[in-house]
Amino acid sequence: MSGEYLSNLLTHKRTLFSLLSLLAIILLGYGAKNLYFKSDYKIFFDKKNPQLVQHEHIESEYTKSDDITFIISTSANDLFNEQDLTALLEFTRDAWKLPYSIRVDSVTNFQNTYAEQNDLIVEDLVPEDVHPEDTHFAQLKKTALEQIELVDFVLSADAKTTSVSVLLQMPDDEHAKDAASHEAVMAARELVQKYTVNYPELSIHLVGQTTVNFTFNELSKRDSGFWFPIMFLAMSILLVLLLKSFSGMIISLIIIIASVISTLGLMGWCSTPLNQVTAALPVIILTLAVCNCVHILNNFYYHLADQQNKTTALLNAMRTNLQPVFLTSLTTVIGFLSMNFSETPPLRELGNWAAIGVTFAFIYSLTLLPFLARLLPAAGRKKSSGKFGQAYSQWLYRKRTSVFTVISLIVIGLLIQIPRNELNDNTIGYFKESVPFRQAADFMQKELTGFDSINYSLACGSSNCVNEPEYLKKVEDFSKWLKQQPEIVHVVSYTDIIKRLNRNMHEGDKPFYTIPESRELSAQYQLLYELSLPFGLDLNNLINVDKSALKVTAIIKNQKAQQLIEIEKRSASWLKRNAPELNSPGAGISLMFAHLGQRNINSMITGSILALVLVTLTLIIALRSLKYGLISLIPNTLPAATAFGIWGVVLAEVNVAVAVVFSFTLGIIVDDTVHFLTKYIRARKEQQKGTIESVEYAMSIVGKAVLVTSAVLGAGFTVLALSDFNVNAYMGAMVAITIILALILDLTLLPLSLFHLDK
């Protein structure tokens, strides 16, 4: 089917195609009722991800990590006074009442132990009734600060800050789990509000894994519900100003809305949930869908200004833009589909659904736009003289050597900055500092303990073997080594408990703060201790059910991806040298993200190269010219590369989303190149113009459209950069920078390359 025939068909049968499009929009849009949000951090990982597999193994062996933790700090000298301890006791009791709560750990219910003759006494550190006349606050403080299991973990060294950690038993069903997270966090916020009113000297912050999941969900909904309307309004204003046509703005917005509705509706029909990353889809589709509209409408108004009637102008606009619109849509789809090389499922989903959204935008720009353009009034306007495009092209030709030199020096200067970038994913850094959770996590790291942790499940080989002295000593040696690492602020290990019990049963003598000498003695102490523990405070967070393994947790403060991986490597090396039979991979949520970022970069290099090859081959075939296809490499590869150079100067840190920017933007920035080259080739081959005249022609025809689309795209992704979720914000900022650089290079290096290579 020839382009001429298809253009005639789409123009003259526009009513039929518009009705079919409307029917498709209604049917697809109805599926949006099935959309829901999924905010679990595990969605970022494939099921076979080795770090996720180990993390889930540890969760299956020990208590799961779903929790809400309250960080409580006082303005008094310390927490060990009547008012603050009373508040902590009440708060701990109320924390048990939170939805899905199965365990609460706080400084008040820390299980303090001591011996009376041959009896082991296990009781709460702080008695239920606190009275100044019979409570020795100084002694309580001294006892608490002597417990290495508490300091720099549950209680700060200055005793001003503490934590109350609530373990939750969440539903397995993902729909129910999100609802449960919302219920639990909202109840926790109400609890915080209640106690900050009743005890104004206390400041209370919320952290914990369930809080993280809820914050992901909350920010996703805010991005889609807040930024999309703002972007929609900004897009409307930009289109009116740049197209100078109210009806053109209306047509573009209808195509945009239709594309977004169809994409989200199809997601609903496919039962694909929205998540933290794909919540940005409406803004992305809104931004990309406008490009085809601008090029077709700009050409339509150009022909109207040439005194053509609407049908003829529409036919000429369709004929002129059918191939470039198809090519730009195809290359954009290729770029997005290359994101399937990403190690991150949400980024793969973003690429796939963005590709589908671009496809819908392409279809509706050919089927719905002609009907709307013919139906709505189009105010006449003066025909552009093309003088600016002509004058700019002539100036560029005269100054080609100096402009080429300046642009080349700038590009080279930016390219050499790329190595400054380093992968440094940071779980806390996924959130901007304005987000309450980020503020809480920063406060916790400053005043109490670390946010990140690495867990090790050290198996002894058989059931009930955890009390073997030789095994316990090796676990203790590993725990001691971890404590010596400068990045680690606390280590949670069962060996600290068994050493404390051994000392208790030897009249508190410090020399007996060691591993018991026999298995029988360790087992006896463990049994006495477990029988004395209150409901909900068992040892399953440290010992697995059949007592064949112990969990050791290293708490780490203020470290990023590379440092976490380095700590893991050092730990693995120590175990291999000193306790090879215990060697076990570390696991932890932050460690999972650290490895994910590195693998994502490696996989996306392959994806980006493949996308570049496919896009270049597409252009070579479509333009029927090896030379023009290779020339297109210049404005197609340099924008993203130079953007990474700017990023290296400004921020120098790459997260999991920034790694996909080259593939993400490749198909987008090809848009301007394709439209410029197709008009240039038409002038060269059909109108037999020379190189300079062909550049002038292309600049006059597409110059304005290129400026409009770049402005709209840049504005759209700049809005995304304002997201409080830094994965989306960094990606939006990088894409916006890349688009602006692509515009500059398309208007300078591309025509300069044609001047030199197509004489």
- List the domains of the chain with CATH numbers: 3-43+215-429+593-757 (1.20.1640.10), 66-207 (3.30.70.1430), 452-587 (no CATH)
Q: How confident is the model at residue 384 (pLDDT cuts 50, 70, 90)?
A: low
Across 664-679, average pLDDT: 84
Q: Give me 636's structure tokens.
A: 């197609």
Question: Do 34 and 268 contact (CB within 8 A), yes or no?
Answer: yes
Q: What pLDDT, on the 0 to 100 scale, is given for residue 643?
A: 93
The mean pLDDT value of the chain amounts to 89
Detail the DSSP E strand segments found in 636-700: 653-654
Q: How confident is the model at residue 148 (pLDDT cuts 50, 70, 90)?
A: very high
CA atoms within 13 A on the CB side of 418: 13
Q: What pLDDT, on the 0 to 100 scale, is given for residue 675?
A: 83
Across 702-724, average pLDDT: 83
Query: What tens digit of pLDDT does each residue of 406-465 get?
Result: 999 999 999 999 999 887 777 788 888 999 999 999 999 999 999 999 999 999 989 999
Angle between helices 246-269 and 14-29 (to 10 degrees): 40
Q: How confident is the model at residue 390 (pLDDT cuts 50, 70, 90)?
A: confident
Q: What pLDDT, on the 0 to 100 scale, is given for residue 383?
A: 56
User: Is the dihedral angle over the CA atoms 648, 653, 658, 662 positive or is it negative?
Assistant: positive
Whose CA is closest to 248, among 233, 262, 238?
238
Across 524-537, average pLDDT: 91
Q: How confident is the model at residue 555 (pLDDT cuts 50, 70, 90)?
A: very high
Across 242-255, average pLDDT: 88
Whose CA is closest to 581, among 493, 455, 461, 494?
461
CA dihedral 117, 123, 125, 129 (to 10 degrees): -120
Q: What's the CA gap between 231 and 639, in Å, rounded?
A: 24
- Radius of gyration of the CA atoms of the chain, in A: 32
Q: What's the CA gap between 444 and 438, in Å, rounded?
A: 10
β 452-459/488-492 pair status: unpaired
Q: What is the identity of the amino acid at 279?
A: A
CA atoms within 13 A on the CB side of 373: 33
User: Exposed (0-12), middle (13-18) or buried (19+): which is 251, by Cβ within 10 Å?
Assistant: buried
Q: Give me 460's structure tokens.
A: 């002894």
SS3 79: coil
Q: How confident is the model at residue 376 (pLDDT cuts 50, 70, 90)?
A: confident
Q: What pLDDT, on the 0 to 100 scale, is given for residue 134?
A: 53
Q: What's the CA gap between 509 and 502, in Å, rounded?
A: 9
Question: Do 257 and 21 contact (CB within 8 A), yes or no?
Answer: no
Q: What's the CA gap between 505 and 116, in Å, rounded?
A: 9
Q: Which residues contact 381 (CB under 8 A, 6 or more apart)?
A: 244, 245, 301, 304, 305
Percent of the chain whose predicted confidence (pLDDT) is above 70 = 98
